Chains A and B, each alone.
Chain A
Amino acid sequence: MLITCPYCGPRDVSEFAYQGDGNRTRPDPASTDGDAWHAYVYERLNPAGPHNEIWQHAGGCRAHLAVIRDTVTHEVSSVRFARDHGAPAHVRRKSGAKA
């Protein structure tokens, strides 16, 4: 599987680290809305088809990328810098944390 990094060009998937589902929106840290936190932490769409994902080009330019990957075919239809639309807060979590 190749991911075409907007900076580095097409690279092998082994250079990239998966940073989790790109559909999540982190609630305000002060929020006490249990449903919103539950949705953020646990609920996933799990589609068979195009899926919004956050990847990091950890073995390259180290940029965070917003990727649309087809979960059935692994076809990558879109790659852009996550920061262009504002990197989701969850990509700043500590490495090793669960996705």
Chain B
Amino acid sequence: MVEQLSPLGQAFRPGSHGNFANGVGVTLSEIAPGSIVQAAAWPGSEKKMMAAIASVTGLKLADGAGAGAISERHAAFGFAPGKFLVTDVFEGLAAALAGQVGPAIGTATDLSHGRTAIRIEGPKAEWVLGKLFAVDFEQTAFPIGSGISTVHHDIFAQIQRSGADRFDLYVFRSFARSFWKMLCHAADEVGYEVI
């Protein structure tokens, strides 16, 4: 496969930035998974799709809106009725899922080059995201593994909580640099480190 270039370009500046006199509030990074795949089940085939995701990734998704799971290698969550975002550290997930998902169940669409995955981690991660999205990021409302889809103005974002103070954001590649800059501005006042 063609080597991917990060869309963040010059806007990705490793190091400490902003007001970090009182410590670093958040750490920002691009996680660049090898595969990002959207799996969509036809109405009524949701369970079969979840079984296919489990057989390929080993992640068992609970019933219910936004339910998800994470492992060292994979992540998966529901972001809309019958639709799931599934990632893999390695390439080839789309083909593996397509092998399990026949046309009677639904579709698996490779978005690996179409989305950019940004990770925000740290004690102020909820607070920084709360500035950008009108969504409750408290862990009681947004448990580990679960995901949502929302927008910041017109920039569509799918967000998964991958840890107690860690979120993975999937944005359109073409908006990624703009979104990244905005995220840096939002994190400026708590101090952020780019790694």
Contact = CB atoms under 8 A, between A and B. Distances in A.
B100 interface: no
- The B contact surface, by secondary structure, is strand
A15 interface: yes
B66 interface: yes
Nearest to A15: B151
B103 interface: no
Interface in B122-144: 134-135
Interface string B151-176: 10000100000000000000000000
B135 to A, nearest CB: 7
Interface string A7-19: 1110110110000
B150 A7 contact: no
A60 B157 CA distance: 9
Contacts of A59: 149-151, 156
Contacts of A83: 43
Most buried by B among A11, A12, A61, A83: A61
B79 to A, nearest CB: 7
Nearest to B65: A7
Contact of B81 (A9, A12, A81): A81
Size bracket of the B interface: 10 to 19
A62 interface: yes
B80 A63 contact: yes
A61 B134 contact: no
A63 B151 contact: no
Interface in A59-94: 59-63, 81, 83
Contacts of A81: 81
Q: Which 6 A-B pairs have the closest CB atoms?
A: A61-B80, A59-B151, A12-B134, A7-B65, A60-B149, A7-B81
Given A11-B135, A63-B81, 5 more contacts: A6-B65, A8-B66, A59-B149, A59-B150, A61-B79
8 contacts: A7-B81, A8-B148, A8-B150, A14-B151, A61-B79, A61-B83, A62-B80, A63-B80
